[in-house]
Amino acid sequence: MIKSRLSKIVLIIFIQAVSFGVCEFCLNTDAGASSFNQAYAYFSEEAKSVDIWERFRSGTQLRAPSQQKLYRHYVDKYKKSGAGVYQLSTQAEPYLHYIMEKLQERGMPSELALLPMVESAFKPTVVSSKGAAGIWQIMPHRGRDSGLLQDAWYDGRRDITASTIAALDYLQFLYETFDDNWFLALAAYNCGPGNVQKAIRKNKRLGRGTSYWELDLPLQSKQFVPKLLALAEVIQNAHEYGMLLPIIEDQPYFVAIDINNKLDLKVAARLAGIHIKVLQKLNPGYKQGTTHPKKAHQLLLPVENAEMFEVNLAKFTSQIILNGKS
């Protein structure tokens, strides 16, 4: 673990040095380019055993028609925007291992782990113009149907673990509804199963094919699947496209701690020894800066801070009890 983290740090420093021109020699001479490639290969290999992208690549199942125009358009777009893909991947880091674990448990395609990149850029507090919320962009009614609490204190659609389970449950339901077809299931996730079924019925009446690529769907849904598959393609074959990805360890980023009483998130951050923004990024479901006053919930904490938090929480709770008795 320590060795892999050191490799990650050294690689990031090296890449940033090149990016900011500090190591311009590395790219402007044959010897420098060779040294860069050797260094990148070395540190990448050192980190590979714990790199989430290796797990991602081993679990991909979906393929777009290679010459499909919209798919090729987005592959070319992402290839030209390597920095954008890198930033999206970095934003995903706290959540990606958890999502990949849940996908693998269900035997679902690892491409689905990138769905929040397309839906929300992995920004957990983003809300669409139509009211969809969280990294999976779940609509209010869909959240209620999935049993996600939504009230003044808490929105389960923004809760990282609860929303992930709800989203994967719904995707599995759609997959079964559309005869084990992931492309149709993804289109239905985006525009609703009714619209997809309507498009299928229309094509049948006209004697046309009923694959995802042949359906007359809303523009956003026509773009949705090609975007996802293009992202998967450039990430799966990043080296071939000359793209860099952040080295994300294939290890749990957070653990869940049961919280039975209302707790201010600023206090929780101090007890855990982390910045409040770190805690908020892992617990975006809490809307008022505290855990729920009437419901038992969990706090997600970075793995390395969980033990400190539990020790300090016990002391903090004991002090409150003592003060209440005095």
How remote is the C-alpha of 161 from its chain's centroid?
11
CB 122 within 8 A of CB 163: no
Tokens 């044959």 correspond to 30
In the chain, the amino acid numbered 71 is Y
226, amino acid identity = P
**Phi (first) and psi of residue 301, to 5 degrees:** -130, 145
Enumerate residues 6+ apart whose C-beta is below 8 A from 231. 74, 78, 85, 88, 114, 117, 118
Question: Between the CA of residue 300 and those of 79, 149, 163, 210, 285, what are the distances in Å?
Answer: 34, 17, 14, 43, 11
Sign of CA dihedral 163, 166, 169, 174: negative
Give CA–CA dist 198/69, Å, rounded: 24
Amino acid at site 57 = R
Q: Which residues, in sequence order, are CB contacts of 90 under 8 Å at separation 6+? A: 246
Of 24, 93, 111, 119, the catalytic one is 119
Using CA atoms, how far apart are residues 188 and 204, in angstroms rounded to an integer?
18
**Catalytic (active site) residue 105:** no
Q: DSSP code of 154?
A: B
Contacts of 224 (CB under 8 A, 6+ apart): 118, 186, 187, 190, 191
Residue 187 in tokens: 């289109």
Phi and psi at 256, nearest 5°, equal: -100, 130
* Helix, strand, coil content of the chain in percent (nearest 5): 60, 5, 30
Alpha-carbon 268 to chain mean position: 24
Active site residues per annotation = 119
